[in-house]
């Protein structure tokens, strides 16, 4: 089967991993997500993943209270490591070969981020999971996805969400909201559609790295994007 993209960066939010639960990691959901990833891996596509941590701890939200922002952000980074370990375990159970690289040093648990090793893993057909964001406070995992996507020289960044694309407003609040099939980065930024933070969108725009926003809960959606079918919202220059 012909694929449009040979190497991708998949951004998985922590919220996606908890499914309909209020907190934590839903094992049924994570197995379903891994099944979608496995199908694309079998097509020979090289897959890098950046995972968020909002299902366990959200730094910015906690920092709005009494917690110092820097401390809260580091706690959020550690939450992404926990999610990465859960993804790694689920992938191993179906025969995939995952490797976690963390922007924070936790050598007893995961490898540190080393670009050359990550590139080599991808070329071997292994799946690289990037944890701990950029390793710096004040930067979101969306920005980490854009950054790692550029460093890994991927063809596209795919942001997996609970919604099947970018809408004019929140479709869960406004039933009349319309979905965009295509957008420019400038439109996404100027309309403040909040699909990704402005820093991530600007990075992708400046490096001419396309973005697709889609629902990870829509069966086969990830594969349809990879083979070039219309799915989600495509954001381009």
136 in a labelled binding site: yes
Beta strand 233-236 pairing with 182-184: parallel
SS3 160: strand
130 in a labelled binding site: no
Task: Give the separation between CA 233 and CA 213, rounded to whole angstroms.
Answer: 5
The pair of structure tokens assigned to 104 is 């924070």
Half-sphere exposure of 68 (CA within 13 A, CB side): 4
Class of domain 7-236: alpha beta
Task: Give the separation between CA 202 and CA 199, rounded to whole angstroms.
Answer: 5
Query: Which residues make Cβ contacts (< 8 Å) with residue 6, sequence separation at least 6?
Result: 44, 45, 46, 155
Query: Which residues make Cβ contacts (< 8 Å) with residue 216, sequence separation at least 6?
Result: 12, 16, 33, 36, 160, 161, 162, 222
Task: Give the separation between CA 118 and CA 152, rounded to whole angstroms.
Answer: 8
41 in a labelled binding site: no
CB 127 within 8 A of CB 163: no
62 in a labelled binding site: no
- Which of the pair, 16 or 11, is modelled with greater confidence? 11
pLDDT, one tens digit per residue, over 92-112 is 999 999 999 999 999 999 999
Whether pLDDT at 57 is above 90: no
In the chain, domain spans: 7-236
185 in a labelled binding site: no
Percent of the chain at pLDDT > 90 equals 78
107 in a labelled binding site: no
The residue among 167, 159, 170 whose CA lies nearest residue 197 is 159
Task: Give the separation between CA 15 and CA 22, rounded to whole angstroms.
Answer: 9
pLDDT for residue 156: 98
- Which of the pair, 173 or 117, is modelled with greater confidence? 117
pLDDT confidence tier of residue 61, bands split at 50, 70 and 90: low
The residue among 49, 74, 44 whose CA lies nearest residue 62 is 74
141 in a labelled binding site: yes
135 in a labelled binding site: yes
């Amino acid at each position: 089967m012909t694929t449009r993209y040979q190497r991708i960066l998949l951004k998985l939010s922590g919220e996606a991993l908890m499914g309909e639960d209020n907190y934590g990691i839903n094992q049924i959901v994570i197995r379903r997500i891994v099944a979608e990833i496995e199908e694309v891996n079998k097509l020979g596509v090289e897959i890098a993943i950046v995972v968020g941590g909002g299902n366990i701890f959200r730094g910015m939200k906690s920092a709005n209270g009494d917690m110092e922002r820097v401390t809260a952000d580091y706690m959020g980074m550690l939450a992404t490591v926990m999610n990465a370990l859960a993804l790694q375990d689920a992938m191993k159970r179906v025969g995939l070969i995952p490797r976690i690289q963390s922007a924070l040093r936790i050598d007893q648990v995961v490898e540190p981020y080393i670009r050359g090793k990550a590139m080599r893993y991808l070329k071997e057909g292994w799946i690289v999971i990037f944890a701990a964001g950029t390793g710096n406070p004040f930067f979101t995992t969306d920005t980490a996805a854009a950054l790692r996507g550029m460093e890994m020289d991927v063809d596209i960044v795919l942001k997996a969400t609970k919604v099947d694309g970018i809408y004019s407003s929140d479709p869960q609040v406004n039933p009349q909201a319309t979905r965009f099939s295509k957008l420019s980065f400038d439109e996404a930024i100027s309309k403040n559609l909040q699909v990704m933070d402005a820093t991530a969108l600007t990075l992708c725009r400046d490096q001419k790295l396309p973005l697709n926003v889609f629902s990870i809960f829509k069966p086969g959606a990830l594969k349809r994007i990879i083979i070039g079918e219309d799915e989600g919202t495509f954001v381009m220059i």
